[in-house]
Amino acid sequence: MWVGTRRQFNGLIIGGIAMMITKNFSSNEMMCHCGCGDADMDEDFMKQLQGIREEMNRPLKISSAVRCEKHNMKVSSTGKNGPHVHRKAADIVISGADALRLIDVARKHGISGVGISQRGEHAKRFVHIDTLSGDDGHPRPTVWTY
Ligand SMILES: [Zn+2]
């Protein structure tokens, strides 16, 4: 689905297009941060993420979703087999009561992996959610902290 977007920079309205994967999540926000342009998320995961977004009834800011192998090697100890490489994971910037509610809602929607980063500045705190299974080479269900 393609939708028009309008952004305002210093009084100028700039029109553009964004590719929406689901109603609330665009390929831009799911894209690998290395610059490779890869935004190819797992379809089932995106349906679950959209369901979580609707039940939360608030915007969910994604800080990391797709990671190509190369990028994951750089930023994660999970290397070539990390949850983000499987395209079934998202890190959501959220803290406090909302973070706890996200974990509850995510579990209801079939999330099998929860990583919790809740130290330091609230603006940088996040919750990782994924839908991996033992078949992906990761023990699930599980929870961890960073
Ligand atoms: Zn990449």
Q: What is the pLDDT of residues 18-30, one digit of tens each?
A: 789 999 999 999 9
Computed over every residue of the chain, the mean pLDDT equals: 92
How many whole angstroms from 66 Cα to the centroid of ligand 1?
8
How many whole angstroms from 67 Cα to the centroid of ligand 1?
5
pTM (2 d.p.):
0.88
How many whole angstroms from 74 Cα to the centroid of ligand 1?
10
Q: What share of the chain is helix, strand, coil (3-state, %, to 5)?
A: 30, 30, 40
How many whole angstroms from 32 Cα to the centroid of ligand 1?
5
Would you give per-residue pLDDT tens digits along the chain (146 residues)? 555 555 555 555 556 677 899 999 999 999 999 999 999 999 999 999 999 999 999 999 999 999 999 999 999 999 999 999 999 999 999 999 999 999 999 999 999 999 999 999 999 999 999 999 999 999 999 999 99
Per-residue HEC secondary structure of 22-55 comes to CCCCEHHHHCCCCCCCCCCCCHHHHHHHHHHHHH
How many whole angstroms from 136 Cα to the centroid of ligand 1?
20
- Paired tokens of 115: 């990583």
Cα angle 112, 113, 116 (rounded to 5 degrees) comes to: 140
Q: Region of 87 please: left (phi>0), alpha (psi -120 to 50) or beta.
A: left
Residue 123: how many other CB atoms lie within 10 Å: 9
Three-class secondary structure of residue 143 per DSSP? strand
Q: How buried is 112 (Cβ within 10 angstroms: 0-12 exposed, 13-18 middle, 19+ buried)? A: buried
How many whole angstroms from 128 Cα to the centroid of ligand 1?
19
